[in-house]
Structure formats: structure tokens, C-alpha cells
Structure 1
């Protein structure tokens, strides 16, 4: 199945006329499930000439952003190193990790830390044990805000302008239970502001439940991040973990404020 940049939440790659634009098109051709892509597949996904892809991919290999293998190309460790140097996310992760670990020890369910980027939630961290539920989330991955608890609680504290933009749609139906009616979603966002938590009931993935709370900025209104706990239908009761998630998010918010984040 073709993996388009917009399917991964990155938006269409518009600038193909520069070397940088071509390089980004090649790097963004890799989807979450792709380990190695042959040259022909990179050509197909980027819609760039074969010679151009071969040349630019060679440059990326030399700069340790791609590795060349017997079966094609794969993303290289150089990208991982660059990602770890992103100062804001690194600081957030370092300060958040003790709270995420404590929350995992209390719940023994999958714990996430996420931030808002555009109309999506980006996963900064994921902690799960041996019995963690099968979830599509991954560190560095992203999902639409409207179908995840993390996304909904981030959107709830993003302001009316952002609400209007997201509710204007389109709202992708990822499962039969995804909330795609703007009125219903607005009601959920309002309750998230009132209660300090948001829920997901099999809206991004069948069989998964989730509860999330915002990590608020010092103004008490804007969310700089969000924390969630996820578990499977049948064993997991999200309501029973709401207080623990709220407490972790509040404690992290206080720590970030003291550190001037």
C-alpha cells in the first residue's frame, strides 16, 4: 500500500525544486512500518526521477542520514542523533521521565507523553511492560488529535481558534467508534477542560481505551504537553486511573514551571 506523506501526518511535500526539498521527500517516504525501501519504491513514493533519487540518497548515505543495504535504503542513526539534540523535546523528556516511570509503576499499563503539532499529537515517550496493549503509537510517531485521549486533552487547552479549525474537519473515521460529529467532539473538549482529563474509547484502534491529562503552562490554561495511560478493553478501566494521570501531569507542570520551561 502506498504511504503518502499526508497519511503520516506530515503534509504534502511541496518543494521538490531544491536539494533540501528532494532530500526531505526521500526521508519522509519512509513510513512507521518500513525498515528498508528499495530504490524503485523510493522513486514511486517520491515521484522523483530515478537518477535524482539515486544521487540524493547517496548524499544522505554520506551524511549518515540513510544507510545503504543489500535490499535498498534505511533510515540511519544520524537522524536519531539529531533528534536527541532537539533541545525543547529533550528537556521535556528528561524532566518528564521520572513522572512517567512512577505512573507506570502505579498502573503497569502503557504510559505516553505527547505534544501538539498542528492538528496532531506527536508521541515523545512511550513506556510499556510485558503485558502492554497492542497500540499503533510509537515514540516519534503522530496521530490525529480528535481520535486520541492525548490529542483531545491537548486540543481542549489549545484555544477556541484551534477548536474551530479542527472541528471544521474533515475528521477522519479511523474506527467505527471514532467521534467525527463536530458537536459531540466539542462536548468532549468542554468536559476535558472542566474535569482535567479526556478519554478515548476504541477511537484510534479497536480494543484500546485511554485516559489523558494536560501538562499545563504557568498560565493554567495552555497545555505544553499531555500524559496518558492506555490499556485493553476487558482489563483496563480508564476512569480508575484518572486521578493518577492528573497527579502526574500536575506534578510535571509544576516542575517545568520551576525550571522555566
Structure 2
């Protein structure tokens, strides 16, 4: 009988990476089914043999990252996972800031992270561009949802009925460019398709901005590029591409729907 050769360092490393990737796929699948799934259902979802899934699930169960549902069979995510998330992934600002810095450096414009606060937008963090003509705004600032690109991408996550219930009619006129409610609802329909919007001096004269929504397990936010209106029109496509790329990078790392294959 010939003696089996030990695994090389590279083979062992690749095997370890494959196991981690498979375990991550199983955990993502279980995150989408909080009621739990059987081993057969997990195997079908991740396209792996049932025996492979069983070995990985047993290892995850030993670390309390997955737990059995009891006599009914099946598995769901375990309590240890929630503890890890609570201890290490609770601050959206520190998680997103490196991406905001990259976005600002790429475009040489000011960028912001915002969330909804009633019928207003609340600025949680911002990076101010290092250039002569730039937009500077304070952290903690509030602005109307209906007249800002950040507010509009978050409103697009609501139904039209919810928007009508949330916002006054008529909408407050912030500038001569501010949209009325019918025009806003039409724009929201377009945002739901494209995932991006731009405001042209709708909140403040001389200031424009583009935004995308950010969907994470910590909630729904908006990331925005804010710049002088004088140079906005010729850069809309570059801003759109940069924002969508930034959104993909962040949601791949921390989004609820990240890394699906």
C-alpha cells in the first residue's frame, strides 16, 4: 500500500478558504430563513452535497454559531453570532467612514452619511473635500427629506401612500427648484428603478447633490456627494458611478443582501 503524501501548504490553505466560504454561504442562507431550514434544504440552497453541509453545520453548531431546532429538525443561526455582531459591528459611522473617505478622494467632493429622522434627514458623518470651492456642512445637521437627494432615496424605500402620510401637502418650498408632491412621487418611481437621484438646488441655492441608499443590517442610510451647483451638471454620471460602486462595496461587506452568488 502506498503512503499518502501530506497536503502541501498551498493545498491546505485553499482547502481552508473553501471551507470558510462554504460556511459563510450556509450562514447567509440561514439568515434569509430565520424560521430555520433542514439540512436537505440548506444543501439545495448552497448547491453542496448534504454530507458536506452536515459536517460544516455540526462544526458551526459546536461554536454556537448555528443551533438545532429540536425534535422537528432543521437549523437556524445561533446566539453566538448575535453576540459577535453586538460586540463588534454596532457603529455604522466607523464601519462606513473608510468608504466615505475613498469616495471623497475619488471625486474630490464633500460626501455625507445620513439617516431618516421623521420627515427630515439627519447628517451622521461627513468628509469635507480639500479644494477651494467646496460645500461644508456640520455633522448633526437636519434637512428636509423632500428637497434633498439623500431624503429622496430614502423616501423611495417607502410606498407612495407612506410618503403621502409622512410629508405635508403642499410641500414646503425651499427654493424655486423644489418639487411639488406629484413631481416628487414621479421621481421616486424612477429612483426605485435606478437606485440613484440628484437634486439640483432643490434645498439650497447654489448647492446640488447625488445620493444612493445604503441597506445594512444596522438599518437604511443614504450616502451622498454634495457639491457646488456650478460644476454639478458635467459630473453627474461620474458621481452616479462612484456612488453605486461605493454602495456595492459597503453592502458587500456589511449589507443584509451582500455577497449572494
User: Would the TM-score normalized by the shorter structure come out above 0.5?
Assistant: yes
Is the contact made by 1:214 and 1:246 (CA closer than 8 Å) also made in structure 2?
Answer: no
Is the contact made by 1:154 and 1:223 (CA closer than 8 Å) also made in structure 2?
Answer: no
Give the structure 2 partner of residue 250 of structure 1: 248
RMSD of aligned residue pairs (Cα, Å): 2.8
- Secondary structure, aligned partner of 1:177: coil
Say if 2:241 is the partner of 1:240. Answer: no
Give the structure 2 partner of residue 175 of structure 1: 175
Give the structure 2 partner of residue 162 of structure 1: 162
Superposed displacement of residue 103, structure 1 = 0.3
Superposed displacement of residue 149, structure 1 = 0.4
Q: How many corresponding residue pairs?
A: 169
Query: Given the superposition, is the C-alpha separation of residues 257 and 98 from structure 1 closer, same or farther in structure 2, using an over 3 Å criterion?
Result: same
TM normalised by structure 1 equals 0.58
Provide the rounded CA distance (Å) in 2 between the counterparts of 1:191 and 1:102.
27
Alignment equivalent of 1:229, drawn from 225, 236, 246? 225
Say if 2:206 is the partner of 1:210. Answer: no
- Which of the pair has more CA radius of gyration? 2
Provide the rounded CA distance (Å) in 2 between the counterparts of 1:228 and 1:210.
7
TM normalised by structure 2 equals 0.58
- Structure 1: gaps of 5 or more residues: 1-86
Is the contact made by 2:215 and 2:255 (CA closer than 8 Å) also made in structure 1?
Answer: no
Q: Which digits, 9 at most, give the CA deviation of each residue in 1:100-125, with x for residues without a partner?
A: 01101110101011011111111011
Give the structure 2 partner of residue 133 of structure 1: 134
Query: Given the superposition, is the C-alpha separation of residues 257 and 134 from structure 1 closer, same or farther in structure 2, using an over 3 Å criterion?
Result: closer
- Structure 2: gaps of 5 or more residues: 1-86
Superposed displacement of residue 239, structure 1 = 2.9
Superposed displacement of residue 189, structure 1 = 0.8
Query: Given the superposition, is the C-alpha separation of residues 104 and 234 from structure 1 closer, same or farther in structure 2, using an over 3 Å criterion?
Result: same
Q: Which digits, 9 at most, give the CA deviation of each residue in 1:43-86, with x for residues without a partner?
A: xxxxxxxxxxxxxxxxxxxxxxxxxxxxxxxxxxxxxxxxxxxx
Provide the rounded CA distance (Å) in 1 between the counterparts of 2:119 and 2:103.
27
Superposed displacement of residue 194, structure 1 = 0.6
- Secondary structure, aligned partner of 2:246: helix
Q: Which digits, 9 at most, give the CA deviation of each residue in 1:8-30, with x for residues without a partner?
A: xxxxxxxxxxxxxxxxxxxxxxx
Q: Equivalences for 1:1-261 in 2 at 5 Å? A: 91-131=91-131, 133-135=134-136, 137-179=137-179, 181-217=180-216, 224-236=220-232, 237-257=235-255
- Secondary structure, aligned partner of 1:104: helix
Superposed displacement of residue 161, structure 1 = 4.0
Superposed displacement of residue 253, structure 1 = 2.3
Is the contact made by 2:191 and 2:197 (CA closer than 8 Å) also made in structure 1?
Answer: yes
